[in-house]
A = this chain, B = another copy of it.
Amino acid sequence: MTGADAKEREYRYGRDREMARGASRVEAISDGIFAVVLTVMAVELLQYGPARAAGKELPDALTQAWPSYLAYVITFAIVGHIWLAHHNMWRYVVRVDQTLLVFNLLLLLFVAAIPFSADLLSDNLRSGVTEQRLTAVIYVGTLLGEDLFFNLSWWWARRRRLLHPDLDPRLARAVARRLMLRPLLYLVAFAFVSVDPILSLVLYLAFVGLYLIRGPGNLPRSSNAE
């Protein structure tokens, strides 16, 4: 091995470590935000929970607070689902540039707003039709904003060759196609909101369930299991 080779290898090592740190730090800030968002609704249970409402009987108070429990479970399902997709996508990102970081921050801006819109939605499930439609529109808007920047992130990472060189381009294209499908499904699910808000919620949860069984989920499996 010549000195030039050693120099080259050392340089590569340095560059590689630096890049790995770059991508892993994006995951760190994202995971911090995901962790806060996932627990926020459980913390809310503490504050608005029936334990503090001294006036009522405990069983009644606990029963009446069901929209808060629903908001917690919905938020956890949706944000957990987004985290899984985020995790699957970022496993293939080995380098980052300024634009990808900005797209990721804008994605997180919408993710952090999900508890607010999920809370609005669950609070107004028993309200009039106007309130139901308005809160559903805010809710779909938040999810579509998140999806937009998810699609932009993947598109940019592919275009600027920031992905792992081992990743099959056909797989990358398939992921892009599936990501583009997601907002369409959301729109279909929420077109039903004027018909029946509960039905549209059930449809949405069915999509999440479908995603967990098929969808980008088979991406890491095929790569890990060889």
Contact = CB atoms under 8 A, between A and B. Distances in A.
Interface string A45-60: 1111101100000110
B39 A33 contact: yes
B96 A83 contact: no
A212 B98 contact: yes
Interface in A24-46: 24-29, 31-40, 42-46
Contacts of A96: 220, 224
Nearest to A98: B217
A224 B97 contact: yes
B33 A35 contact: yes
A177 interface: no
Contacts of A19: 224
Given A14-B166, A62-B138, A96-B224, 15 more contacts: A18-B164, A19-B224, A21-B24, A28-B28, A31-B35, A33-B35, A40-B42, A46-B115, A48-B52, A51-B123, A58-B127, A59-B130, A96-B220, A97-B220, A97-B225
Interface of A: 11, 14-15, 17-22, 24-29, 31-40, 42-49, 51-52, 58-59, 62, 72-73, 76, 80, 83-84, 87, 90-91, 95-98, 101-102, 105, 108-109, 112-113, 115-116, 119-120, 123-124, 127, 130-131, 134-135, 138, 164-166, 212, 217-218, 220-221, 223-225
Query: 10 tightest CB-CB pairs across the interface, nearest first?
Result: A32-B35, A98-B217, A42-B112, A80-B105, A36-B39, A45-B116, A28-B31, A51-B123, A29-B31, A39-B112
14 contacts: A18-B164, A19-B224, A22-B87, A25-B87, A25-B90, A31-B35, A32-B35, A32-B36, A38-B108, A42-B116, A44-B46, A58-B127, A87-B101, A98-B221
